[in-house]
Structure 1
Amino acid sequence: MNKKEVLEIRKQYTHEKCSISRICGCYVDGEKNIKTQIKEAFLSLPEEETFKYFNIFKQTLSGTLGKNLLNLEFPLDAENPGGPQEFLLKLRDSKLQDDVLLEEFYQKVIENYYFPENYYIILIHVAYDIPGKSTDGSEMFDASEDVYEYLLCSLCPVKLSKPGLFYNTETNNIENRIRDWIVDPPAKGFLFPAFNDRNSDIHSMLYFSKQAEELQPEFIENMFGCTLIPLTAESQKETFNYLIEDTLGEDCDYEVVKNIHEHLTEMVEETKDSPDPLVLTKPDVKRLFELSGVPEEKMETFDQTFEAAAGEKASLLATNIASVRKFNIETPDVVIKVNPERTDLIETRIIDGKECLVITVNDHIEVNGVNVRTIAPQRDEDYEEEFEEAIPASAPAAPDAPIDFGATQA
């Protein structure tokens, strides 16, 4: 799914557009015991509750694609009879009316989802009439051709509210507040099937994780049978940095790394309005290195390096590996933060036999919040004073003759 497709589904979670037919859920304590369950027609709930549920559903489809939202494909084994995909299809087609399937679903989540505290499993069934699109991209609500029938699951932590005092209007007094168990925003969730090309794709699903670095791959594999789990955003960044360092080796200098950063930033900027995130495969990264000036002899072993670091068919999301908003240079004692658009202000030079970073400054420097003056170039008046000291004012003018400073000083 791309950004537009995710946004289209998110927009349905309002009373005006609601197509949620049924909501089910169960409250699980820290000992993995089911404490209570709900089974309701969604619109039969009090209006105040439906608004709060709408927020939870929107949060389950929030975040960045490739970080918090992952497109997962079912492997062939998972689509075999009796596999995880078939189970989810049965659950969807039951419209959450089959208590046996619901109980089995809850048990699968409880067995495989690691969360040592209380949490609330929320599951909804939705039948969305997909509006047609006119030639200018606007929706044609009276031209619905297909129905996108799907499940959305949200796994929400339930935590005890903080202790405190409150004002009791009935007694006109400040009293101890009763602590309640509060349902927090979702930590994990999924949408099945995926909404690819604005239609149902039963071979894919969308997985949500509030913490991008805590995907719980064991839960994904055991619950859905998906084994090809993308690297986390931080792992992709680390893998990309390793590729640069290992490919360049001792020739990993500032200029080449800066060129890679600039080319990658340009690529991200050029595709920022695209609904599909920019994904770099092995050939794409190889081309990026070549454009950035990595020597040809260093690229001879690139394929093997990439496969060893990420895998032959791995891909890296450009927004995960590009530092679009920062460009930092660090030594053990100094950290320099540079505007990513002004990396041209930094260059390397050999001064007195030492490799140095040279920073071009304008007329403003601030040190610990204090404005300090910059070193101004030598003024003409200063030069004239030195010249007058070297040549007395009484000396005859000889504009066409060469001036011998050594003889004059003598």
Structure 2
Amino acid sequence: MKFHDLNRDDLLELTRRMTVKRSCIFRTAGAYMDEDGEIDGSFNTGFLKLSPEEKESNLKLTKTVLFGKTNDEVKGLFIPSSCKGPGSIFMALNALKACELKNDALLYDLYEMIGANYHSSTPYSIRFYYGCYDIPRKGSDKAEQWESEETYSFIIGLICDIDKNYETGEVKTGFLFPAYLNRGAAVDLVAVYNETIGEILFKG
């Protein structure tokens, strides 16, 4: 796998739009998996429909990918050209982003693909989040202005521990697609938290 340095300020900029009162996350979907990688249940809902407590706990999970030690725990992974053709994970993630996680058939394909390649001795959950961030323009003094320079749409994916009551525990691995670099979308990069997810999705 080939990596590219990320900018911590970029990642922290996104986290500032991940609060209960001001969130750029609009939808979440996921599946509960047994230890054999089989789907044991799923969900798909608008983020605004969650209770404040549920929003807070979900935002804490998404921030794990962004708060990890930059270029150590969180790295920019180049997406190999072999992963960009028809039927590829690159195309699937772009399609998920375009439909804002509203295609259950596509989601189930990804759950099954991850389940077949992620090895765990205990049940776990796969979670996806769709977000859209209006990137504010910055003046010459670096201060943010009201008008938006461009829009950054993204998918965050996580694999998490769960307990016997399906309560989510530690984030084991995850990604931000596409990576956010130099205050914009880096379309050839995915930010990975713990390289496991990169090995599963972008083998090359």
Q: Does the aligned pair in 1 maintain the 2:29–2:129 contact within 8 Å? A: yes
Secondary structure at the aligned position of 2:114 is classed as helix
Secondary structure at the aligned position of 2:26 is classed as strand
- The residue that corresponds to 1:189 in the other structure is 174
Q: Does the aligned pair in 2 maintain the 1:190–1:205 contact within 8 Å? A: yes
Moved over 3 A (4+): none
Is residue 152 of structure 1 aligned with residue 156 of structure 2? yes
- The residue that corresponds to 1:269 in the other structure is none
- The residue that corresponds to 2:202 in the other structure is 224
How much does 1:19 deviate? 1.8
Distance 2:200 2:35 in 1: 20
Distance 1:123 1:184 in 2: 15
How much does 1:222 deviate? 4.2
Distance 1:58 1:83 in 2: 27
Secondary structure at the aligned position of 1:72 is classed as strand
* TM-score normalized by the length of structure 1: 0.47
Once the two structures are superposed, residues 40-90 of structure 1 have per-residue CA deviations (whole angstroms, 9 ceiling, x without a partner) of 110101111111111111122222122210110112222223322122111
| Structure number, greater radius of gyration | 1
Q: 1:287-326 to 2 correspondence within 5 Å?
A: none
Once the two structures are superposed, residues 271-325 of structure 1 have per-residue CA deviations (whole angstroms, 9 ceiling, x without a partner) of xxxxxxxxxxxxxxxxxxxxxxxxxxxxxxxxxxxxxxxxxxxxxxxxxxxxxxx
Is residue 106 of structure 1 aligned with residue 106 of structure 2? no
Structure 2: stretches of 5+ with no match in the other structure: 1-5
Secondary structure at the aligned position of 1:143 is classed as strand
Is residue 129 of structure 1 aligned with residue 114 of structure 2? no
Q: Size of the alignment, in residue pairs?
A: 199
Letter in 1 for 2:202: F
How much does 1:26 deviate? 0.8
Q: Which has the higher contact order (CA 8 A, sep 6+)?
A: 2
Q: 1:34-45 to 2 correspondence within 5 Å?
A: 34-45=39-50
Q: Does the aligned pair in 2 maintain the 1:74–1:225 contact within 8 Å? A: no
Secondary structure at the aligned position of 2:71 is classed as coil
More strand by share: 2
Identical counterparts, % of pairs: 27
Distance 2:11 2:96 in 1: 22
More helix by share: 1
* TM-score normalized by the length of structure 2: 0.91
How much does 1:121 deviate? 1.0
Distance 1:149 1:181 in 2: 29
Is residue 67 of structure 1 aligned with residue 64 of structure 2? no
RMSD: 1.6
How much does 1:110 deviate? 0.8
Distance 2:81 2:121 in 1: 32
Q: 1:119-268 to 2 correspondence within 5 Å?
A: 119-140=124-145, 142-160=146-164, 180-209=165-194, 215-216=195-196, 220-226=198-204
Q: Does the aligned pair in 2 maintain the 1:71–1:205 contact within 8 Å? A: yes
Letter in 1 for 2:9: K
Q: 1:263-274 to 2 correspondence within 5 Å?
A: none
Structure 1: stretches of 5+ with no match in the other structure: 161-179, 210-214, 227-410
Q: Does the aligned pair in 2 maintain the 1:96–1:125 contact within 8 Å? A: yes
